[in-house]
Chain A
Amino acid sequence: EVKLVESGGGLVQPGGSLRLSCATSGFSFTDYYMSWVRQPPGKALEWLGFIRNKVNGYTTEYNVSVKGRFTISRDNSQSILYLQMNTLRAEDSATYYCAREQGSNAMDYWGQGTSVTVSS
């Protein structure tokens, strides 16, 4: 059974940092692109970026909205995906989801989400 479980969310002050984790199981982690998506309360989904699979060298792509502030990485030995978030702003407050990409056709499995609140 494919499972994705996010953790690491919480309350952080503006300008602060947070690292989210996404622990995965039930599939060959290195075979898949993995994405991060966020959703502010009551609003639509926003793709943040992905990290490619082993065949494609684990390279990354980001949405311009977070490029330079957010970094996606992966620990392939433990099948964990990370999102390092720096210089956080109030508008970064959202539920953050990790998702597995099904060959760029879609995101076929999602975690349950972890909530991030940026406030003083």
Chain B
Amino acid sequence: DIQMTQSPASQSASLGESVTITCLASQTIGTWLAWYQQKPGKSPQLLIYAATTLADGVPSRFSGSGFGTKFSFKISSLQAEDFVSYYCQQLYSTPWTFGGGTKLEIK
């Protein structure tokens, strides 16, 4: 199975700041990577697929980059509604696997 190591597990930041989350794959996955946002008590929502492509309706302050084994997810100019949890997922080979998640907290 491909292991997805996501970091940090939690991060504090202020409104308006930028944050970056990293996902490392245990083997190369090309650009078969997605990022999801999950609000408390809600289902995950797709933000980015194919490592860099924004899903429909997702604000441009969200962005993704990377290829192979190292991927990054950035939120520029944090808004209040962004302080929730985020997950990466590889869809290169089954079983699809998720990172451990990152919880953003307001500083």
Contacts and interface: CB of A to CB of B under 8 A. Distances in A.
Contact of A106 (B1, B89, B94, B97): B89
A102 B98 CA distance: 16
B34 interface: yes
A61 B96 CA distance: 10
B101 A102 contact: no
A77 B1 CA distance: 34
A105 B91 contact: yes
B43 A44 contact: no
B95 A47 contact: yes
A107 B100 contact: no
Interface in B36-55: 36, 42-46, 49-50, 55
Contact of A45 (B1, B87, B94): B87
B32 interface: yes
A45 B44 contact: yes
Interface residues of B, number: 23
Contacts of B99: 44
- Interface majority SS (helix, strand, loop, mixed), chain B: loop
Interface stretch (A12-20, A24-32, A78-86, A110-118): A110-118
A97 interface: yes
Contacts of B50: 105-106
Given A105-B32, A110-B43, A44 B101 contact: yes
Interface in A58-73: 61-64
B87 to A, nearest CB: 6
Nearest to B1: A64
Given A97-B43, A113-B43, A107 B95 contact: no
Interface of B: 1, 32, 34, 36, 42-46, 49-50, 55, 87, 89, 91, 94-101
Interface of A: 35, 37, 44-47, 49-50, 61-64, 97, 102, 104-113
Given A47-B96, A107-B34, 8 more contacts: A46-B98, A47-B97, A97-B43, A97-B44, A106-B34, A108-B46, A110-B43, A111-B43
